């Protein structure tokens, strides 16, 4: 069964809307863990638009499950990751003007720079995952540069408007999932996953982790974070058999 990483960036986004100290993403991480989160995911952006250095530090000190830091390959951020030593770093593309991470990292294009970052982080005992689109060349390049895992961008599936487009996106995910496993990579999935669309993805054998943020934090407004995580965990586990 795949594990569930809860992305808490959106809690910090609400805090930043008022430049105040609530809601606290570190508190959110504790609540998510009480709801059964297997991992806590946060994105320390260069512009610190939501998660800040204080959050990263406290998350490192308090999170007792897997801590996954999403990050760009910018030198300043890599240095912070080396010092912080989260369990896993997920390398993502980052543009200042985007609302959230859009699309995957181009590992084929930035192969040499990414290989150097993977080496530095691996030396610190950090598992490295590359957030990529489900494209065979990107999967192969991720294995070539020494990544331990890939996180397949599920955005195309999540945003598909027709069942045909959804099916095509699922097929692409399945092919990259299989290729990743053949190459010895752990395969994660994330972006745009919701309570409504997680079913077919969770039913695909082979995914070892899903990272989900917006949908869980949105539901938490109504039912609380602990309960929202509990509900998503049940969906990730899939229907009970027998």
Q: Which residue intervals of the chain are DSSP H helices? A: 9-17, 25-34, 53-62, 75-84, 111-123, 136-144, 155-159, 163-182, 198-202, 214-223, 225-237
Query: For residue 201, what are the CA distances in angstroms to 88, 122, 143, 238?
Result: 22, 29, 23, 10
Residue 176 or 211 with smaller CB distance to ligand PXP:
211
Given 207, 211, 219, 232, the residue binding ligand PXP (CB under 6 A): 211
Q: For residue 17, what are the contacts with CB-CB under 8 A and spacing of at least 6?
A: none
**What's the min distance (Å) between Cβ of 68 and ligand PXP?**
9
**42 forms part of the interface with ligand PXP (CB under 6 A):** no
Can 191 be counted among the known catalytic residues? yes
Collapsing DSSP to helix, strand or coil, 127 comes out as strand
Taking residues 143 to 182 in sequence order and writing x for each that binds ligand PXP by CB under 6 A, - otherwise, the string is --------x-------------------------------
Given 43, 45, 50, 233, the residue binding ligand PXP (CB under 6 A): 43
**What's the min distance (Å) between Cβ of 211 and ligand PXP?**
4
Residue 36: which region, alpha, beta or left (left: phi > 0; alpha: psi -120 to 50)? left
Given 2, 3, 4, 7, the residue binding ligand PXP (CB under 6 A): 7
Q: At what angle do helices 9-17 and 214-223 cross, to 10 degrees?
A: 70
Taking residues 83 to 122 in sequence order and writing x for each that binds ligand PXP by CB under 6 A, - otherwise, the string is -------x-x-------xx---------------------
- Give the CA dihedral 212, 210, 91, 16, nearest 10 degrees: 10
Given 38, 50, 131, 139, the residue binding ligand PXP (CB under 6 A): 131
Can 214 be counted among the known catalytic residues? no
**13 forms part of the interface with ligand PXP (CB under 6 A):** no
Given 2, 133, 190, 236, the residue binding ligand PXP (CB under 6 A): 190
Write down the catalytic residue from 43, 50, 148, 188.
Answer: 43
User: Residue 222 has what DSSP assignment?
Assistant: H
Residue 30 or 150 with smaller CB distance to ligand PXP:
150
Write down the catalytic residue from 70, 94, 151, 209.
Answer: 70
Burial of 168 (0-12, 13-18, 19+ CB in 10 A): middle
CA-based nearest residue to 10, from 192, 213, 210, 195: 213
**What's the min distance (Å) between Cβ of 241 and ligand PXP?**
27
Pairwise CA distance, residues 228 & 216, whole Å: 6
User: Residue 240 has what DSSP assignment?
Assistant: P
**48 forms part of the interface with ligand PXP (CB under 6 A):** no
Pairwise CA distance, residues 198 & 208, whole Å: 14
> Residue numbers of the site for ligand PXP (CB under 6 A)?
7, 9, 43, 70, 90, 92, 100-101, 131, 151, 190-193, 211-215
Catalytic residue ranges: 43, 70, 191
């Amino acid at each position: 069964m795949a594990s569930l990483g809860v992305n808490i960036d959106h809690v910090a986004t609400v805090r930043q809307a008022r430049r105040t100290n609530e809601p606290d993403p570190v508190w959110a991480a504790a609540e998510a863990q009480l709801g059964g989160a297997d991992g806590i995911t946060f994105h320390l952006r260069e512009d610190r638009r939501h998660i800040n250095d204080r959050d990263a530090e406290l998350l490192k000190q308090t999170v007792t499950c897997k801590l996954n830091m999403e990050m760009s390959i910018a030198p300043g951020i890599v240095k912070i990751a080396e010092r912080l030593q989260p369990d896993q770093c997920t390398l993502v593309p980052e543009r200042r003007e985007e609302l959230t991470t859009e699309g995957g990292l181009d590992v084929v294009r930035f192969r040499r720079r990414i290989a150097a970052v993977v080496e530095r982080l691996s030396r610190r005992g950090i598992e490295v995952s590359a957030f990529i689109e489900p494209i065979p060349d990107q999967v192969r390049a991720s294995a070539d540069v020494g990544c331990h895992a890939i996180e397949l961008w599920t955005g195309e599936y999540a945003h598909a408007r027709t069942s045909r487009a959804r099916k095509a996106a699922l097929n692409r995910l399945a092919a990259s999932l299989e290729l990743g496993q053949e190459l010895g990579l752990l395969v994660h999935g994330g972006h745009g996953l919701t309570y409504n669309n997680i079913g077919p993805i969770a039913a695909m054998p082979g995914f070892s982790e899903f990272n989900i943020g917006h949908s869980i934090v949105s539901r938490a407004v109504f039912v609380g974070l602990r309960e929202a995580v509990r509900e998503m965990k049940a969906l990730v586990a899939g229907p009970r058999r027998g």
